[in-house]
Amino acid sequence: MEEKNTPSRILIVDDMPVNLDLMKSILSTEDYAIVTSKNGMSAMAKANANVFDLILLDIVLPDIDGFEICRQIKTSSKNQDTPIIFLTAQREKESIVKGFKLGAVDYILKPFSEEELLARVSLHLSLKQTQEELKKARNVAEGLAKAKAMFLANMSHEIRTPLNGIVGMIDILKQTSLSEQQMDYVDIVDISSENLLMIINDILDYSKIEAGQIAFEKIKFNIRHEIDEVRKLLYYKSTQKNLEFRIEVESNVPEMLLGDPLRLKQVLINLSNNAIKFTTEGFVKIKVKLGKAMVQQYKLLFEVQDSGIGISPKNQRKLFQSFTQADASTTRKYGGTGLGLAISKKLTQLMNGDIGLNSVEGEGSTFWFTAIFDGAEIMNVNENAEIGRKFASLDQLKLKILLVEDNVINQKVCVLTIKKLGHEVIAVNNGIEALELYAKTNFDMILMDIQMPGMDGLEATEEIRKIEKEKNVEKKIPIIAITANMFKEDVKKFLANGMNDHLGKPFKPSELDEIIRRNLI
């Protein structure tokens, strides 16, 4: 059975009965449902009681003028989104502009023709229907986006949790006595797990960017230190291919900056990884230049040069698009998701920069990008020395750590890793067990999983903070979220619930060591 179309409801407000009758007569030919009012008070009462599809509003009325009625309707009635067309004999520009500023969509000059009235009413009813359809479509899209974000968060957790066991056990296995052949096998597993993690990160990062979930920090960092971190990370991969890997940072580049060093390194690693992947002999070089110094800001230019296969002009046009590589043979030979450059483009845009390339097929490529950072004060010698002393003191410090983790494999990996770092650790399976042990044992730190049966990590953290408040504890115990949930909203929730920091799964022993040190300084 087909649903009958409900006729459009129109409110006409005019103090002249002859005008009301004329408009009602004209509009009734189109099967509209017409309601009339002869003054402002009556019009407001009807606008507050009913929802209309269109309002035709005279400006000059005996009690309240049309401008004031329009203002009230747009601020405090059921018809805030209803289009209003003014009926007026006033041809002054100021009067017409005033009506538009108050929220009217159109005006009809008196005297009006039948054709004009019908045309304008039909137009704005059609536009309103289109807007309502767009609003419904937007609501559906937002619902789908939320469902997608939830799916991605769950997928991230489910993938990263077992991967944490793989990555962690590889690191632990490498520290045992292995033959040369066994070490070769472990290296292959290690490289394969790193490649798998890169692919997973690409997919999840792109999804987070599309969903507006990407988190950007604004912290002080040393640009040369961060570039050197990139060099250390990629040095092994470049030496495996006998490539010269060089870093050049020009002397006028400021030492300390404010921004997100993690996202900066992510772009540099993406571009450098590509350069190494597509270069069989020669070099890969990272260059950093000062592009432009502004008031309390610096625009930096980063270049990643290689002597690799190069890219044809035709294939250059395909780059920086999602899920694309130069051609199908590239995907078959070199692998990858085709997301690295698309992610890099999005990240550089979020750093108020741009990205591009210069390449000659068979001769190599130079990928470049710009980013804008705020200036930061250079730490003085005393600050650096104090941080150095605190870190040095931690080298001799043996901590007592409570690990709360329900996954047996990840629990074993974490316990072994913490012991390798020289600390004592006691592991429990959920939040309830954690509270019981916390109540009778003194710990220096708690590493807390989030998703656990019985009582999850957030609930356990809230209970611990309540206990500390009741006992007037001055120095609260650091609680670190050890989690596979890496979305921005999740991290915000962890910190808002009383956690001090978070470490994403999978993690390396060095990353765990850094976060332990960071939260004890």
Helix (H) or strand (E) holding 446: strand 445-448
On the 0-12 / 13-18 / 19+ scale of CB atoms within 10 A, 141 is: exposed
Supply the pLDDT for residue 168.
Answer: 82
In this predicted model, what pLDDT tens digit does every residue of 253-297 receive, in sequence order?
999 999 988 889 889 988 998 899 889 999 999 999 998 777 788
Question: Mapping DSSP to helix (H, G, I), strand (E, B) and coil, where does residue 175 land?
Answer: coil
Supply the pLDDT for residue 139.
Answer: 87
Supply the pLDDT for residue 458.
Answer: 93
In this predicted model, what pLDDT tens digit does every residue of 116-154 receive, in sequence order?
899 999 999 999 889 889 989 888 888 887 777 677 667
List all residues 6 or more positions away from 403 whose beta carbon is below 8 Å from its beta carbon: 411, 414, 415, 418, 425, 426, 427, 428, 446, 447
Helix (H) or strand (E) holding 101: helix 93-101
Domain coordinates in residue numbering, the chain = 9-112, 150-210, 219-375, 381-518
Rounded to whole angstroms, the Cα distance separating 222 from 255 reads 6
Supply the pLDDT for residue 429.
Answer: 93
Question: Top-level CATH class of 219-375?
Answer: alpha beta
Question: In which residue are the tokens 């292959």 written?
Answer: 188
In this structure, are residues 480 and 507 in contact, taking their beta carbons and an 8 Å threshold? no
In this prediction, residues 484-513 reach a mean pLDDT of 83
In this predicted model, what pLDDT tens digit does every residue of 316-370 receive, in sequence order?
877 776 545 545 444 444 444 567 788 889 889 989 999 999 998 888 999 999 9
In this structure, are residues 516 and 391 in contact, taking their beta carbons and an 8 Å threshold? no
Q: Is the pLDDT of residue 3 over 60?
A: no
Supply the pLDDT for residue 196.
Answer: 79
Rounded to whole angstroms, the Cα distance separating 472 from 476 reads 10
List all residues 6 or more positions away from 358 whose beta carbon is below 8 Å from its beta carbon: 365, 366, 368
* Stretch among 242-251, 381-390, 450-459 having the lowest mean pLDDT: 381-390
List all residues 6 or more positions away from 386 whose beta carbon is below 8 Å from its beta carbon: none
Supply the pLDDT for residue 301.
Answer: 95
Q: Which one has a higher pLDDT value, 73 or 334?
A: 73
- Supply 72's token pair: 């009230």
Q: Is the pLDDT of residue 91 over 80?
A: no
Q: For 118, left (φ over 0), alpha (ψ -120 to 50), or beta?
A: alpha
Residue 211 binned pLDDT confidence (cut-offs 50, 70, 90): low
Question: Top-level CATH class of 381-518?
Answer: alpha beta
* Other residues' Cβ atoms within 10 Å of the Cβ of residue 481: 25
What integer best gives the mean pLDDT of the chain? 84
Helix (H) or strand (E) holding 400: strand 400-404
Q: Is the pLDDT of residue 431 over 60?
A: yes
Rounded to whole angstroms, the Cα distance separating 161 from 156 reads 8
Q: Which of 104-108, 138-142, 304-308 has the highest mean pLDDT?
A: 304-308
**Homologous superfamily, domain 9-112:** Response regulator (3.40.50.2300)
Q: Which of 91-95, 171-175, 205-209, 271-275 has the highest mean pLDDT?
A: 271-275
Do the domains 219-375 and 381-518 sit in the same CATH topology, yes or no? Answer: no
